[in-house]
Amino acid sequence: MSEQKKAAALISGGLDSMLAAKVVMEQGVHVEGINFFTGFCVEGHTHAIRSKDKAKPKRNNSLWVAEQLGIKLHIIDIIEEYKQVLLNPRHGYGAHMNPCLDCKIFMVDKARQWIAENGFDFIITGEVIGQRPMSQRRQTMPIVARESGAGDLLLRPLCALNLPETLPERQGWVKRDLLHDFSGRSRKPQMALAEKYGFDDYAQPAGGCCFLTDEHYSVKLVDLWKARGKRDYDLDDVMLLKVGRHIRPNPDFKLIIAREEGENRFLQGYRKQFISMEAVSHRGPLTLIDGSPSSEDLNLAARITARYGQGRDAQQVEVKVLDKDQERLLKVKPLSVDEIPEAWHV
Amino acid sequence: MNKEFLDARRLLCPLPVIRVQDKVKQLNAGDRLRVVATDPGVMQDIPAWCRINGHRVLQTEEKHGEFFIVLEVGVQ
């Protein structure tokens, strides 16, 4: 009896990777999932932070997919290594700061290393030719296989019939005629296959699963690099760009103002790392100050903070400023809406 | 049986799950791990991770905005 072959499936939590894994499992291959966490994944974070989202049941879609498929899932933290992909993408960016092609190459390369370390035979992805404008085109498919080093160990079950045979097909580990020929942006073939497998509940991310494909997020990231004079970031930066109202009155500092109670609680956790301020004479949001503000800047920041609290129409608001363990009180007149130029909003 | 503790406070999902996963790799079947976290998402994600990877959740509890989960490591 021949040994059961083993494949690692890149599981994003979306339908395509779920189907790709299922197609190969149906052929008797042992499949386990890998999910990479870059820090920019939309999955989870904003739900955890914002109070208004808490009414909705929250689930991690990659875990959910793995459970539906009955496979193990290995979630791998690639936050640090991913910096090189985002900061120096060989193939450039998409519409925003999304280095989709380099990202895919990087993840397949990581999967290649993982299968070598764990005794697996090949890699599965849910890629479909023509599905995404940057990373899933006919021209990019061989680039991903080649530059990741995976070569013909990389099987794309949903569009394999449109591509040259891979090692798993040539070796008979999977039957080529049971694979698919999906192409283009239509979701109908995937939906039909999902129905065949009885998958009636699956995530349909609009605009992808990565914050880097989001215009507003990308603008904030570029602003951060510009203000610091260098292209670098850490996980706290990544998280804080997802939270609050960002207002930059000048290049030296930026305010991050909580928009609701959940964000307020989340920002509390950063008070030791940043100067923070909040109104004490009236209810209002917590604000973090990122950068190196002068005392004049802090006064301006307090006036802006006061504008977003219940004292917005008051003649004077008392704002407590906390800088490390030093606490002081500023008495300020809140700025009016007209005094906060649109250009300050990042 | 060893009893271990993991502090995953201030981490947002899936980081608590990743920390649990990395910790469990160092443990043996039958060992117990108590996790504390502040992201409510762990109440779904850690049990889901345990179910698909063959571990058992023994207890979950919320206290003062913190979430406690005790799990028993299965055969790895």
How far lies A151's CA from each of A144, A155, A162, A166, B48, in Å? Answer: 8, 9, 16, 8, 33
- For residue A122, the one-letter residue type is F
Contacts of A49 in chain B (CB under 8 A): 12
pLDDT at A54: 62
Q: Parallel, antiparallel, or unpaired for β A122-124 and A6-10?
A: parallel
What percent helix, strand, coil does chain A show, rounded to 5?
40, 20, 40
pLDDT at A77: 95
**Which of A12, A20, A19 has its CA nearest to residue A40?**
A12
Contacts of A67 in chain B (CB under 8 A): 48, 51-52
Cα–Cα dist A312/A287, whole Å:
15
Q: What is the mean pLDDT of chain A?
A: 92
Q: Which of A59, A63, A243 to mutate to test the interface with B (most CBs of B within 10 A)?
A: A63
Cα–Cα dist B48/B13, whole Å:
13
Chain B contact for A60 (CB, 8 A cutoff): yes
The larger pLDDT score, comparing residue A149 to residue B13, is at A149
Instruction: Note the pLDDT tens digit of each residue in A124-156.
Output: 999 999 887 666 788 899 999 999 999 999 999
Instruction: Note the pLDDT tens digit of each residue in A13-52.
Output: 999 999 999 999 999 999 999 999 999 987 656 666 766 6
Cα–Cα dist A73/A50, whole Å:
27
pLDDT bucket at A206, cuts 50 / 70 / 90:
very low
What is the DSSP code string of A100-167? HHHHHHHHHHHHHHHHHHHT--EEE----BTSBTTTBSTTHHHHHHHHHS-GGGEE-TTTGGGS---H
Among A48, A67, A76, whose Cβ lies nearest the Cβ of B41?
A48
CA atoms within 13 A on the CB side of A51: 10
Domains and CATH numbers, chain B: 3-72 (3.30.110.40)
Nearest-5° Cα angle at A192, A190 to A194: 70
**Helices then strands, each counted (H, E), chain A:** 12, 11
Q: Select which of B11, B13, B15, B36 is catalytic.
A: B13
Taking residue A252's Cβ as centre, other Cβ atoms within 10 Å add up to 12
Domains and CATH numbers, chain A: 6-210 (3.40.50.620), 243-344 (no CATH)
Question: Residue A210: beta bridge partners?
Answer: A41
Task: Judge if ipTM > 0.85.
Answer: yes
Q: Which residues, 6 or more positions from B8, have their beta carbon under 8 angstroms from its beta carbon?
A: B15, B16, B19, B20, B35, B36, B37, B39, B42
Question: Inter-axis angle of helices A140-148 and A100-118, to 10 degrees?
Answer: 40
For residue A332, the distance in angstroms to the closest alpha carbon of chain B comes to: 33
Q: Catalytic annotation on B13?
A: yes
pLDDT at A56: 62
Q: Which residues, 6 or more positions from A310, have their beta carbon under 8 angstroms from its beta carbon?
A: A279, A282, A283, A284
pLDDT at A118: 97
DSSP SS3 for A296: helix
How far lies A43's CA from each of A75, A132, A210, B20, in Å? Answer: 13, 19, 8, 18
pLDDT bucket at A254, cuts 50 / 70 / 90:
very high
pLDDT bucket at A283, cuts 50 / 70 / 90:
very high
pTM confidence score: 0.91
How far lies A132's CA from each of A96, A140, A211, in Å? Answer: 14, 11, 16
Contacts of A47 in chain B (CB under 8 A): 41
Is the pLDDT at A207 greater than 60, yes or no? no
Cα–Cα dist A124/A323, whole Å:
50
How far lies B57's CA from each of A61, A192, B21, B54, in Å? Answer: 20, 36, 14, 10
Q: Looking at residues B5-29, what average pLDDT do you find?
A: 94
With pLDDT > 70 as the criterion, what percentage of chain A qualifies? 93
Cα–Cα dist A336/A19, whole Å:
53
Strands, sheet with B66-72, edge to edge from the N-terminal-most edge strand: B3-8, B32-37, B66-72, B56-63
Cα–Cα dist A105/A82, whole Å:
11
Contact between residue A166 and residue A152 where contact means Cβ atoms under 8 Å apart: yes
